[in-house]
Amino acid sequence: MQTDSSFTFVLFGGTGDLSMRKILPALFEAHRAGGMLADSGKIVAVARHAANRDEYLQWVNEHVKPHVSKDGLDEAAWTSFLERIEFVKIDLGNPEDFVQLRDAIKHLPGIRVFYLATGPSLFVPICHALASVGLNENARIVLEKPLGYDLKSSNAINDAVGEIFAEEQIYRIDHYLGKEPVQNLLALRFGNALFEPLWRREWVESIQITIAEELGVEARGDFYDNTGALRDMVQNHLLQLLSIVAMEPPHSMDSDSVRDEKLRVLRALKPIDPNEIGKVAVRGQYHAGGIRGSTVPGYATEAGVKPDSTTETFVALKVEIENWRWAGVPFFLRTGKRLADRVAEIVVNFRAVPHSALGASALRAGANRLVIRLQPNETIRLYCLAKQPGEGMNLASVHLDLAFDKFFREGQMEAYQRLLLDVIRGRLALFVRRDEQEAAWRWVEPILNEWKVSTKPPKPYAAGTWGPAAASAMLAQHGTCWLEEEN
């Protein structure tokens, strides 16, 4: 493969929501920054909902501009960015149309990146059509989630794509791995002598990983009702974050070294006993409620959702890792829609001191904790105890704060921007390897299968709350609580 910086970025689903909200804004930010994208680099949008390039650029002006950074739109940069964009109108269901795509890009230089911002049902047909016109060479292909519905369907897609593209050409994207605090978690652990000795069962009491959303299913009711939170969020995002938190130090930061260590974590997950699922897994579904002063409908009345749907919109899990570093430490994973706040964070609760010469207040909650906030405000906070000013030894919880926007003058790079640049430059470390994906599906499947045949409906929770009470009860059995409950 070529290693120079020239590229042709072919965007399938070029008029879709993901392209408008994430992919094109990320490419624009890289373009505006200067020096990140080769001047010769081209973006070729593929869709059938525009008649020609002029109509497509009008669509881009209307739908992408609202999603670029808030510090003002540089019109000169925007105009030069649009000059990078070409458009090819083809029907993805007609392989013969791919001849037009081949002819449109055959003269363009550099590595070819094919980004499949489409439904997974189109992944295999697109790959076959690319191969039929010889476009699978000197190329990289990016696959969005969901990659399959279960282990069998995931393997079927991977088998088919793997017949056309080599594993090192395939980039299975998980945008949470591109977030700045996740990168800083690696720096924090493996660049500082302070944390590594404490990052183990002897000093860590429990770990929480939460991805919470205020939004409901919006216009995705049809898709979501056949997917659910376990497939949509746990099998990929949450398990990937868990593997980053729990992995052993790699011998280097090259792609296979990092992914080998993540895979070892996924393979060490304690298998789920179907008879114990009720004790370690909570599924819920939101009902009508209030969020920030507005009343929102329940899931079953959302457009595209079956009125008697048992699809889960909330999942909480207790996970254990069977290895020497983490044996006995519970990892609590949680995700849901229509929750009280939009937040993604990792909470590492260290053990309290074994004996306090300073009194009971030295054993108080709110200290000995590391909180890594992924969104909306990306920060890392280390909570500890300090003496309050004045008479007596009165302790208070304080924190050391790494707020990226205050500490670093350079603007932060959005997750998609980082990941797209990594694809162009051939860096695989932040993308999911096939064996990682298989291990995650294999661990999740017993829960999927049990919920599929269960006669018990998901536990209800009101929109605007933090989910079913059963999720809190699960943590209470281990003498702890979710972070927001403590506060």
Q: Is 260 assigned a ligand-binding role in the annotation?
A: no
Helix, strand, coil shares of the chain, percent, nearest 5, are 40, 20, 40
Question: Long-range contacts of range 196-200, CB-CB < 8 Å, 24 or more positions apart?
Answer: 196/249, 198/350, 199/325, 200/325, 200/326
9: amino acid identity, one letter: F
Half-sphere exposure of 144 (CA within 13 A, CB side): 20
Q: Tell me if 124 sits within 8 A of 87, measured CB to CB.
A: no
Q: Is 232 assigned a ligand-binding role in the annotation?
A: yes
Distances (CA, A) of 265 to 257, 268, 443: 13, 5, 12
Would you state the structure tokens that stand for residue 295, as one six-digit string? 């009343």
Is the bond preceding residue 460 a cis peptide, omega within 30 degrees?
no
Q: Is 281 helix (H, G, I), strand (E, B) or coil?
A: strand
**Given the residues 31, 237, 251, 478, the one annotated as active site:** 237
As a whole number of angstroms, the distance between CA 287 and CA 339 comes to 11
Q: Is 406 assigned a ligand-binding role in the annotation?
A: no
As a whole number of angstroms, the distance between CA 10 and CA 37 comes to 15
Give the DSSP letter of residue 153: H
Contacts of 404 (CB under 8 A, 6+ apart): 180, 181, 184, 378, 379, 412
Q: Is 270 assigned a ligand-binding role in the annotation?
A: no
Pair type for strands 294-296 and 289-291: antiparallel
Would you state the structure tokens that stand for residue 70, as one six-digit string? 């808030």
As a whole number of angstroms, the distance between CA 25 and CA 85 comes to 13
Q: Is 351 helix (H, G, I), strand (E, B) or coil?
A: coil
93: amino acid identity, one letter: G
Q: Is 163 assigned a ligand-binding role in the annotation?
A: no
Question: Using N-to-C axis directions, what is the helix angle for 24-33 and 415-425, rounded to 10°?
Answer: 80
Q: Is 279 assigned a ligand-binding role in the annotation?
A: no
381: amino acid identity, one letter: R
Q: Is 72 helix (H, G, I), strand (E, B) or coil?
A: coil
29: amino acid identity, one letter: E
Clarify whether 237 is annotated catalytic.
Answer: yes
Q: Which residues of 108-138 are buried (b: 16+ CB within 10 A; e: fewer)?
A: bebbbbbbbbbebeebbebbbbbbebebbee
Q: For residue 455, how many other CB atoms are within 10 A of its CB? A: 5
Residue 149: phi and psi, rounded to 5, are -105, -20
Q: Is 175 assigned a ligand-binding role in the annotation?
A: yes
450: amino acid identity, one letter: E
Binding-site residues for NADP(+), please? 48, 91-92, 145
Catalytic residue positions?
237
Binding-site residues, please? 48, 91-92, 145, 175, 179, 213, 232, 337
Binding-site residues for substrate, please? 175, 179, 213, 232, 337
